[in-house]
Amino acid sequence: MSENALAGVRERMYAVCFPNIPRTLEEQEVFERAVQLQYAQEQENAQVPAGVKGFRLGEFEMTLKDGEGLHGGKICPEAYGLLLRHGLLYRGVEGRRGP
């Protein structure tokens, strides 16, 4: 695992959770597991950029998936579910109650 790539995934996952940063040891462990799941998913899909449906190399042509840009803008379902079950996803203006 590239530490720079992992750090990048971690920062994007913090953005998904904000303002619900992991506070307890359990939340930190869950968050790190979600980061690892997301990293693994991104490595698995590294051959074709997120949001790309297909491309041709001769006289370059690329087709984007409907409704998606090149960034994809989504986290993998396993990481999303893990964060959701442990209350680490953003829940509106009120956010999460204190410890």
The reply to whether 43 falls in a domain is: yes
Token pair recorded at residue 16? 């998904």
82 vs 11: CA distance, rounded Å: 17
The β-bridge partners of 55 are 62
What would the pLDDT profile of 5-46 be if each residue is shown by its tens digit? 888 889 888 888 888 889 999 999 999 999 999 998 888 766
Examine the pLDDT at 53 and tell me if it is beyond 50.
yes
Q: Is residue 50 part of a domain?
A: yes
Structure tokens at 56: 């041709």
pLDDT given for residue 68 in this prediction = 47
Rounded distance, CA 86 to CA 32, Å? 12
pLDDT digits (tens, 9 = 90+) for 58-95: 666 556 655 444 444 578 888 888 888 888 886 655 54
Is position 79 within any domain?
Answer: yes
- Residues facing 64 on adjacent strands: 52
Is 98 a domain residue?
no
How far is 35 from 14, CA to CA, in rounded Å? 9
| 94 located within any domain | no
